[in-house]
Structure 1
Amino acid sequence: MFDTLSDRLSGIFTKLRGKGRLTDADIDATAREIRMALLEADVALPVVKSFVAALKERARGAEVSQALNPAQQIIKIVHEELIGILGGESRRLQFAKQPPTVIMLAGLQGSGKTTLAGKLARWLKAQGHQPLLVACDLQRPNAVNQLQVLGKRVDVEVFAPQPGNGVGDPVSVARESIEHAKRTMRDIVIVDTAGRLGIDTEMMAQAAAIRDAVNPDEVIFVIDAMVGQDAVATAEAFRDGVGISGVVLSKLDGDARGGAALSVRHVTGQPILFASTGEKMEDFDVFHPDRMASRILGMGDVLTLIEQAEAAFDDQQKEKMTSKLLGGEQFTLEDFLEQLTAIRRMGPIANMLSMMPGMGQMKDQLAELDDKHFDRVAAIIRSMTPAERANSKLINGSRRLRIANGAGVTVMDVNQLLNRFVDAQKMMKQMGGAMGLPGGRRKATKSPKNKRKGTKGGNYSGGGRGGLPGMPAGMPQLPPGLDPAALQQLEGGFKPPKLDFSKIMKRDK
């Protein structure tokens, strides 16, 4: 969503690099360009004015004038101010001292409230809670049925005594749901309310009546992140008419300019609690202002990547991979298949790679990634016998033909996978050395044909054949097995060499 804004800011910062000292004219020009970039991204004018004023004041202060690298200091200021606009720190849900905790969802029709209710219920259940979904949207056709379908999908009970479709009293349904939750030992009640295509008196009155009936601990305003300047007026209307305690941004995976996300926190004065980033039930997470600011500035989001890896890889799988690294055991195709399956559970590979620092400059390559390619790789491995997966050296010419026929691919595809897998095995060994594990780092070797073989600590890019099996040639490679502990160690202690990806892409072509 923030691609356009990220590109504009990146271009602005590029002009500052190399300058040993910033003049007042440089600061004014930079502030003017950032102002235009924010306005083009549909950020509300009051937010833009506040941001630019703070930027100018800090840029003319001692932290920049006395800095060794003023350009980097400006980037640091922009990053910190973005975090401030987005809320500073993430806030957790406020739970009632005496269950059940009541969470009321409010927003316009089409903002994604009902889908968000299902996602929130799934997330809370994963946290160890017993949520109850309440169907109080009795106006929109099939809204009750939609919530029931979502409840079944996430295995959460739905309280829906009224059929909806214009029939029933939503206030009485909301009131009865609290008693039902107490009887069935549900500790959280999520109330899905009706919306309208626009702000009107009837909708606000109904939402206020439901609020008074259930006395919610949280009133969450759900806003479509693809909405532009209208988001400001809508947020103000719900703040004044219903009273909100938090915000959820839906449809963050859209291609709109994203100004709503940068405006709603400043306008409402309430924190952004969650973000919905896709259509699947698992595309939902806590909103972290600092991580979102880093993404906007192209700095990546390694912490979220680690959290997703922790959720995708079970404890047994992590222990198995760790023991292999510690014991210096050979990484097999069976191991790789398990890791690939877990990585696929983390979502689209392009989204995952975009969280890695420096990937903003490779947006075109990321857009061309096809997840079906990874499914074909899995099919090839599944066509092998257990013995072949354990020892890839057994796979001779006739076996390769059999595997190709079984997976519905060509022998060349099988050859490419096996060739890249050899590089993956080497990289796993080098990763163990980089983290101080048995096996150590390989001695640097000199080779006129491939200078990268002389890189100390191993070649993070995965070698000349394209790195990990399944990754397109020329792309930066992920370690086979995103063990969260290994990622954290890599982030702190393993510095991959700087590579010119444009040259790699040209060579592989």
Structure 2
Amino acid sequence: MFEDLSSKLDKAVQSIKGEAKITDVNIAETVREIRRALLDADVNYEVAREFTDKVKERAMGEDVLTAVNPGQQFTKIVHDELVGILGQDRVDISVAHTPPTVILIAGLQGSGKTTFSAKLARYLKRENNRNPILAAADVYRPAAIDQLKTLAEQIDVPVYSIGQKDAVRVAREAVSMAKSLALDTVIIDTAGRMHVDEKMMDEVAEIKAAVEPDETLFIVDSMTGQDAVNTAKEFNETINYDGVVLTKLDGDTRGGAALSIKNVVQKPIKFVSTGETLDALAPFYPNRMAQRILGMGDVVSLVEKAQKEFDEEEAQKLQKKIKSDDFNLEDFREQLKQIQNMGSITDLVGMIPGASQALQDEELDEEAFKPIEAIINSMTPEERRNPDLLNASRRRRIAKGSGTKVRDINDLMKQFNQMKKMMKKFSGMGSISKLMGGMKNMPFGR
């Protein structure tokens, strides 16, 4: 996420940290580098200019020029201004005083509206104990309705659809059905087009007038950069939505849309989607995003993810096993599963302070765990509990059963033993961070 921008900003900030003394000359040069980095990232020109003007104005003040550590002071200024253009504070979606809460989803075709609708339903159900229903109001593409039904089945959420091309009726009847079934949330997935056109705008406006949603969200493919910002502006002028959702953020190395959209349309970013799986959705926190862009990581989000997956009682048992050197391959397999449940490996590494820079030349394979699990699953329970039993003939058998090579098993066991020693030094959250940071050394992880 934002690798190119993070790398260039880090280079610009590090250059001034290396100066023996902060002056108006080297501050001006560093600010020019920051502006160039933002423009290269496809950030809106006016946004980039305003951002760097504010950074320069604050950096030229006495607080920086006379600070004990002016380099760190400058970094803080850049961080604070990034938070400002990203939206300052977290803004949640609105909730109706009288159920159901109606949420209208709009955006161009291909932006990820349908998948996001299901992700939002899952998120509200899991995190807020809501009981949602999905309305299939993208009535022109049968595939969209089928996709929504397939996704909804995975999260056990009902879908309302009809066999007619009447999106307004679908939306209105879905709200009525929610009331009759005592469901407290209606999420309406609408049709998109390849480009903004009058027919699409009119239909979304009609649906909005018919159901009077409590929240209207505009879905943006963040990888389209300034095109996304321009589309967001056109949509907002017509339907006046309440917030923005950035999808495909995991593939966005530049960050132009994320850094421009709030300032251009003056609407908050409310959620970000960082992958295709239904759990790859997160509330948007400007402060946390600014930290990640500057390579500071996002420890708060990492801890939140870990707390959801790691049971405290089980963690204490694991800690005892690690300390007593009783950590075995069954425990290791269970830890791998829990880490996978936390989300994308690349995304998790980005949350660990300094890890993105340390691993920027390494490719983290999202499928890296599969061969490891195949090897461990091909072992007998006795072998998993006592890896010392793995002699040459057993390793040949396991390699054949897992579709790998003996050297892969040798590499895995070498890394497993190293990891055991490392995890003995670090317990709790530290061990998770170290495990993630050590991914580049795992077999198949390159």
Task: With the length of structure 2 as denominator, give the TM-score of the two structures.
Answer: 0.90
- Give the secondary-structure state (helix, strand or coil) at the position aligned to 2:250: coil
Q: 1:134·1:192 contact (CA, 8 Å) conserved in 2?
A: yes
Matched, 1:412 2:407: yes
Match of 1:377 in 2: 372
Percent identity for Structure 1 against Structure 2:
48
TM-aligned CA deviation for residue 125 of structure 1: 1.5
- Give the secondary-structure state (helix, strand or coil) at the position aligned to 1:133: strand
Q: 2:4·2:253 contact (CA, 8 Å) conserved in 1?
A: no
- How big is each residue's C-alpha offset from its partner over 1:22-44, in whole Å with a ceiling of 9 and x where there is no partner? 22121221222211211121111
CA distance in 1, matches of 2:13, 2:35: 14
- How big is each residue's C-alpha offset from its partner over 1:409-434, in whole Å with a ceiling of 9 and x where there is no partner? 33333333333333233223322599
CA distance in 2, matches of 1:405, 1:284: 38
Q: 2:365·2:445 contact (CA, 8 Å) conserved in 1?
A: no
Match of 1:392 in 2: 387
Greater RCO (Cα-Cα under 8 Å, separation 6 or more): 2
| Cα 1:231/1:412, change in 2 over 3 Å | closer
Match of 1:501 in 2: none
Among residues 167, 170, 173, which one is paired with 2:167 in the alignment?
Answer: 170
Matched, 1:206 2:239: no
Q: 1:404·1:410 contact (CA, 8 Å) conserved in 2?
A: yes
Matched, 1:359 2:360: no
Kindly report the root-mean-square deviation, in angstroms, between the aligned alpha carbons of the 2 structures: 2.8
Give every structure 1 segment of 4 or more consecutive aligned residues whose post-TM-superposition deviation is greater than 4 Å.
432-435, 466-470, 472-475
Q: 1:424·1:468 contact (CA, 8 Å) conserved in 2?
A: no
CA distance in 1, matches of 2:14, 2:254: 22
TM-aligned CA deviation for residue 336 of structure 1: 0.8
Paired letter, 1:405: K
| Cα 1:262/1:160, change in 2 over 3 Å | same
- Give the secondary-structure state (helix, strand or coil) at the position aligned to 1:247: strand
| Cα 1:474/1:138, change in 2 over 3 Å | closer
Match of 2:39 in 1: 39
CA distance in 1, matches of 2:367, 2:231: 40
Q: 1:423·1:467 contact (CA, 8 Å) conserved in 2?
A: no
Match of 1:247 in 2: 244
Match of 1:157 in 2: 158
Q: 1:330·1:425 contact (CA, 8 Å) conserved in 2?
A: no
The 5 Å alignment of 1:35-434 reads: 35-127=35-127, 128-161=129-162, 163=163, 167-255=164-252, 257-314=254-311, 317-324=314-321, 328=324, 330-367=326-363, 369-432=364-427
CA distance in 1, matches of 2:304, 2:440: 24
TM-aligned CA deviation for residue 334 of structure 1: 1.3
| Cα 1:62/1:320, change in 2 over 3 Å | same
Q: 1:174·1:214 contact (CA, 8 Å) conserved in 2?
A: yes
Q: 2:371·2:444 contact (CA, 8 Å) conserved in 1?
A: no
CA distance in 1, matches of 2:427, 2:15: 40
Matched, 1:18 2:18: yes
- How big is each residue's C-alpha offset from its partner over 1:290-328, in whole Å with a ceiling of 9 and x where there is no partner? 121112111222222223323333566435324545x74
- Greater helix share, 1 or 2? 2
CA distance in 2, matches of 1:222, 1:469: 34
| Cα 1:374/1:172, change in 2 over 3 Å | closer
Q: 1:20·1:69 contact (CA, 8 Å) conserved in 2?
A: no
Q: 2:319·2:428 contact (CA, 8 Å) conserved in 1?
A: no
Q: 2:6·2:294 contact (CA, 8 Å) conserved in 1?
A: yes
CA distance in 2, matches of 1:428, 1:313: 16
CA distance in 2, matches of 1:413, 1:197: 47
Paired letter, 1:125: K
Q: Structure 2: 5+ residue runs without aligned partners?
A: none
| Cα 1:26/1:423, change in 2 over 3 Å | same
TM-aligned CA deviation for residue 243 of structure 1: 1.3
Q: 2:222·2:258 contact (CA, 8 Å) conserved in 1?
A: yes
CA distance in 1, matches of 2:130, 2:311: 20
- Give the secondary-structure state (helix, strand or coil) at the position aligned to 2:254: coil
Task: With the length of structure 1 as denominator, give the TM-score of the two structures.
Answer: 0.80
CA distance in 2, matches of 1:467, 1:216: 47
